[in-house]
Amino acid sequence: MDFETALAEILPMQALLTTVEEKRPYECDGLPAYRAVPRVVVLPESRDQAQAIVKLCGDYGVPIIARGAGTGLSGGALPLEHGCLMSLAKFNRIKHIDPDNRTAVVEPGVRNIAISEAAAAYGLYYAPDPSSQIACSIGGNVAENSGGVHCLKYGLTVHNVIAVEVLTAEGEWLTVGGAALDSPGYDLLAMINGSEGMLGIIMQITVKLLPSPPVARVMLGAFGAVQDAADTVAGVIAAGIIPAGLEMMDQLAIGAAEDFCHAGYPREAAAILLCELDGTTSEVESQLEQVQKIFELHRCSEIRISNTEEERQRFWIGRKSAFPALGRIAPDYYCIDGTIPRRHLGFVLKRIAELSQEYGLLVANVFHAGDGNLHPLIAYDGNEDSQLEAAETIGGKILELCVEVGGTITGEHGVGVEKLNQMCVQFSAPELSAFHAIKDAFDPAALLNPGKAIPTLHRCAEFGAMHVHGGKLPHPELERF
């Protein structure tokens, strides 16, 4: 019996996609430069079906890639042409909300924002809020350790998840974490967060919920120089203030956002900062006063403070719409995700501007300034091979610059296939060997999302002579399949 016939005994006909037309929507995630049509797509709707699929893949030696909403930006859900892509979209139930312990138990296909919507009745919400929160799924958030606007104060996904249930490569169920604050043994929960589907398939998540703050207000500051805005970020944090969110947008991003959603941003500014403060009324009022003084000290030319919830949301809508807004500048954009120490913001942004000029492509900067998590958006035309090649080159140089100044090649998007070469820059051979040893312990047959996140030592040895072009990355680590 062949693999597809065996799958048909597990799944109903409508849950097994085998034609090219049916499979095409799954050929990429939010990084469309990299595409592959999988051998088969499966859409299980029960835990028994999912378990049986994983066991069958093991029996037939077929790689399996778990997929959430497909909003990832690093190619983490890129299929393999000889592999099985398993969509978890039908696992979309919020199973339980416990307002007393402030937790929610959810399935991996639940949309990020749906958790907060369901918890609002209890005066609670789920803090991590990626820009794609209306669409992205919580399982993918855990797999990539996603962040968002409010991660500066409230942490990344790893800081807001207390337990996960994982389907292992052997088709066994593994529960990691629990309701207690701590437990003996290795901290496997932290390891699962950000594991990009390589150690197990996340099937259930228990998240922390937080009380909705009584007051939240946003200060918008306009600056005539990017360096002044960068210095302001450092000044706010140095003053001991931890905003709920502290975001920066440069002039190109401001203009694109204004054309797209008319948020009322000052177009003439070289950069704007959005600083959200939340808490009690007295606490917020006091911090607004302190932050305003810091903004003024660093030559802020205009300050606006939200006075209503509608105004606060309007300040944020431009920031959260910045990615699609770039479509008004170019047909495509390449979003880079790297993190640097805050003190180097000005230097790195200046170098990004130089790369933009050197390669002739516009680069808009919109990012989580408070924690140094950069998101340069490189505008290009995907119909021109030379422009895609230039965008990839700029992106690689930005990530290597992040490492050079003491940062890292990802803050929340993961490595996927996009950043494999830069992993060779950030980590040494012994460190990469340790990563591979962990992968081997969880997945000895290397069937779970192979070829992602951790490059082979052979690849790193060849990196200097390798050329990445047209979204086609060589995958020597997959040759054995």
Q: What is the mean pLDDT of residues 83-91?
A: 98
191 by Cβ neighbours in 10 Å (0-12 / 13-18 / 19+) ranks as: middle
Cα 104 to Cα 119: distance, rounded to the nearest angstrom? 8
What percent of the chain has pLDDT above 90?
91
Which structural domain, as residue segments, surrounds residue 244?
215-324
Q: How many angstroms separate the CA atoms of 303 and 123, rounded?
A: 31
CATH number at residue 258: 3.30.70.2190
Q: Render pLDDT for 355-385 as a digit per residue (tens, 0 to 9).
A: 999 999 999 999 999 999 999 999 999 999 9
The residue count of the chain comes to: 481
Q: Tens digits of per-residue pLDDT, 444-462? A: 999 999 999 999 999 999 8
169 pLDDT band (50/70/90 cuts)?
Answer: very high
Q: Cα(199)–Cα(166) distance, rounded to whole angstroms?
A: 9
Q: Quick one: which of 176, 332, 322 has its CA closest to 257?
A: 322
Same domain membership, residue 266 and residue 199: no
Question: Are residues 364 and 274 both part of a single domain?
Answer: no
Distance between CA atoms of residues 191 and 176, nearest Å: 10
Does residue 123 sit in the same domain as residue 259?
Answer: no
Would you say residue 275 has pLDDT above 90?
yes
Contact call for residues 139 and 146 (beta carbons, < 8 A)? no
User: 432 and 374: one domain?
Assistant: yes
pLDDT at 106: 98
pLDDT at 318 exceeding the cut of 50: yes
Question: Do the beta carbons of residue 446 and residue 363 sit within 8 Å?
Answer: no
Q: Are residues 350 and 473 in the same domain?
A: yes
CA–CA gap between residue 400 and residue 196 (Å, rounded)? 21
7 and 152 fall within a common domain: no
Is 444 found in the same domain as 342? yes
Q: Is the pLDDT of residue 335 over 80?
A: yes
Q: What are phi and psi of 378, to 5 degrees?
A: -90, 115
For residue 464, the model assigns a pLDDT of 63
Which one-letter DSSP state was computed for residue 370? G
Tokens of 235: 């000044």
pLDDT in the model for residue 327:
86
More confident residue, 479 or 142: 142
pLDDT, position 323: 86
Find out whether 162 and 177 touch, Cβ atoms under 8 Å: yes
- Mean pLDDT score of the chain: 94
Q: Kindly state whether residues 63 and 163 are assigned to the same domain.
A: no
CATH of the domain at 160: 3.30.465.10
Residue 475 reports pLDDT greater than 60: no
Q: How many domains does the chain have?
A: 4
Residues 120 and 142 in one domain: yes
* Residue range 176-207, pLDDT digits in tens: 999 887 888 899 999 999 999 999 999 999 99
Rounded to an integer, what distance in angstroms lies between the CA atom of residue 409 and that of residue 68? 23
Looking at the structure, tell me whether residues 251 and 298 fall in a common domain: yes
* Span 234-251, pLDDT tens digits: 999 999 999 999 999 999
Point out the domain boundary residue: 60, 87, 114.
87
* Other C-beta atoms lying within 10 Å of the C-beta of residue 40: 20
Can you give the pLDDT at residue 463? 85
Last residue of a domain, one of 87, 115, 136: 87
* Residue 481 pLDDT exceeds 50: no
Range with the poorest average pLDDT among 182-186, 218-222, 305-309: 182-186
Q: Residue 357 is part of a domain; what is its CATH number?
A: 3.30.70.2740
- pLDDT for 58 equals 98
Q: Is the predicted pLDDT of residue 437 greater than 70, yes or no?
A: yes
Q: What is the pLDDT, as a whole number, of residue 182? A: 81
Confidence of residue 328 (pLDDT cuts 50, 70, 90): confident
Query: Same structural domain for residues 109 and 192?
Result: yes
Percent of the chain with pLDDT over 70: 96
Mean pLDDT value across residues 123-145: 96
Which tokens sit at 409?
């090649």
β-strands 84-87, 64-67 pairing: parallel
CA distances (Å), 343 to each of 139, 253, 340, 348, 395, in order?
33, 22, 8, 10, 21
pTM of the model: 0.93
Q: Do 39 and 176 share a domain, yes or no? A: no
Domain's final residue, options 324, 355, 376? 324
Band (pLDDT 50/70/90 cuts) for residue 479 is very low
In DSSP notation, 225-269 reads SHHHHHHHHHHHHHTT---SEEEEEEHHHHHHHHHHH-----TT-
Q: What is the mean pLDDT of residues 274-281?
A: 98
At 184 the pLDDT is: 85
Q: How confident is the model at residue 397 (pLDDT cuts 50, 70, 90)?
A: very high
- Band of the pLDDT at 472, cuts 50, 70, 90? very low
